[in-house]
Amino acid sequence: MPELPEVETTRRILEPYLLGRTLVRLEHADPARYRRTELAEGRSVLGTRRRGKYILIELEGGLEAVVHLGMTGGFRFAPHPHTRLTVHLGDAVIYYVDPRRFGKWWVVEAGDYGGIELLRRMGPEPLSEEFELEAFRQALARTPRRVKEVLLGQEAVAGVGNIYADESLWMSRIHPERPARSLRPEEVERLYQAIRGVMGRAVSAGGSTLSDASYRQPDGKPGYFQLEHNAYDRAGLPCNTPGCTGRIAKTVVGGRGTHFCPECQRP
């Protein structure tokens, strides 16, 4: 699933193509999944931003188009067999593709996310000043849930999904099944710094393109952060921690495949 780095990379590439342009028509055949898109037609794009795993497109007239890429959603500048929504810009076309059809669009009054529950309750952005160590510590301390489940929940910190939770927990040497409130202050700080570091590097690398190639940048290029993975999708391979003799193991936490080193990340 595209996470913060993949969504941010997509937003940055799309923005120059959208700014100041008019959304002439949003063509699709699934109004249940792509909601009220007719309200965006004929309106100019004033800006774009990202919130967690959502792309927010600011439109004139006080509206926003909210895009969630789901598991396999993305944009292309060329026709694609899995196109689900076509953005007509007059003299240009952008294609929204989604092989597994889990992505969604909404057009809403700006800031009105009452019908998008996860977006409404989302925590601070990990690369922003609002992501504060003490608030993060408090969020972990008040729940018995496993730490990976807390990260995936989006309330303690936004945009961290399966890939980057595994990478951050490996870097901070914390077992993914540890109860969040059991983490010591120094462990919380390690995790906090790891999340910021992993996310920053992943954005710089254009995100992660895995073996199924479901995520690609709008120009068709892959991301490159998968070349730096230390835990995710490395089951059975040696741990990259200097001096460690362990091998990456795989289990399931919160219904998600989870990768960790049994030696470095002891329960």
Domain end (from 64, 99, 120): 120
Give the number of other CB atoms < 10 A from CB of residue 168: 28
Domain annotation covers residue 157: yes
Return the pLDDT at 19: 98
Integer Cα distance of 5 and 161 in angstroms: 10
pLDDT in tens, 104-150: 999 999 999 999 999 999 999 999 999 999 999 999 999 999 999 99
Average pLDDT over residues 216-229: 95
How many structural domains does the chain have? 2
On whether both 137 and 256 belong to a single domain, the answer is yes
Q: Do residues 123 and 150 lie in contact, with contact meaning Cβ atoms separated by under 8 Å?
A: no
- Claim to verify: residue 116 and residue 137 sit in the same structural domain: no
Asked whether residue 155 falls in the same domain as residue 47, the answer is: no
Would residue 181 show up in a list of annotated catalytic residues for this protein?
no
- Same structural domain for residues 102 and 179? no
80 is in an annotated binding site: no
Interval 77-86 mean pLDDT: 96
**What's the burial of 25, exposed, middle or buried (CB within 10 Å: 0-12/13-18/19+)?**
middle
Shared domain for 100 and 140, answered yes or no, is no
Instruction: Please tell me whether 100 is known to bind a ligand.
Output: yes
Put residue 62 in one of left, alpha, beta given phi > 0 → left and psi -120 to 50 → alpha. left
pTM above 0.75, yes or no: yes
Phi, psi of 252 (to 5 degrees): -125, 125
Instruction: Decide if 265 is inside a domain.
Output: no
In this prediction, residue 209 carries a pLDDT of 95
Same domain, 61 and 174: no
CA gap 145, 13 in Å, rounded: 37
Kindly state whether residues 200 and 115 are assigned to the same domain: no
Spacing of C-alpha 47 from chain mean position: 20
Residue 126 is assigned to a structural domain of this protein = no
Is 80 exceeded by the pLDDT of residue 1?
A: no
Q: Would you call 229 exposed, middle or buried from its count of C-beta atoms within 10 A (0-12, 13-18, 19+)? A: buried
Q: Are residues 69 and 139 in the same domain?
A: no
Look at residue 128 and tell me if it is in a domain. no
Q: Mean pLDDT over residues 193-218, rounded?
A: 95
Backbone torsion region of residue 252, taken as left when φ is above 0, otherwise alpha when ψ lies between -120 and 50, otherwise beta: beta
pLDDT bin (cut points 50, 70, 90) of residue 214 is: confident
- Per-residue confidence (pLDDT) for residue 121, from 0 to 100: 93
User: What DSSP character marks residue 237?
Assistant: S
Tell me the pLDDT tens digit for each residue of 160-172. 999 999 999 999 9
Q: How confident is the model at residue 211 (pLDDT cuts 50, 70, 90)?
A: confident
- Identify any residues that bridge with 146 across adjacent strands, giving them in sequence order: 179
Residue 35 has pLDDT above 90, yes or no: yes
Which range marks the domain in which residue 256 is found? 133-260
Which member of 12, 256, 262, 263 is catalytic? Answer: 256
Q: Residue for token digits 């990456």? A: 248
Active site residue 3: yes
Our answer to whether residue 2 is catalytic in this structure is yes
Model pLDDT, residue 108: 98
The β-bridge relationship of strands 43-51 and 54-59 is: antiparallel
Does 151 lie in the same domain as 52?
A: no
Q: Check which CATH number belongs to the domain holding 226 and give it.
A: 1.10.8.50
247 and 140 assigned to the same domain: yes
What does the pLDDT look like over 242-255, one tens digit per residue?
999 999 999 999 99
> Is residue 234 domain-resident?
yes
Note whether 246 and 239 are within 8 A (CB): yes
Q: 152, 142, 59: which is closest to 105 by C-alpha?
A: 59
Has residue 212 got a pLDDT over 90? no
- Does 74 fall in a domain? yes
The average pLDDT across 59-87 equals 97
213: pLDDT strictly greater than 90: no
Active-site annotation holder among 3, 6, 8, 149: 3
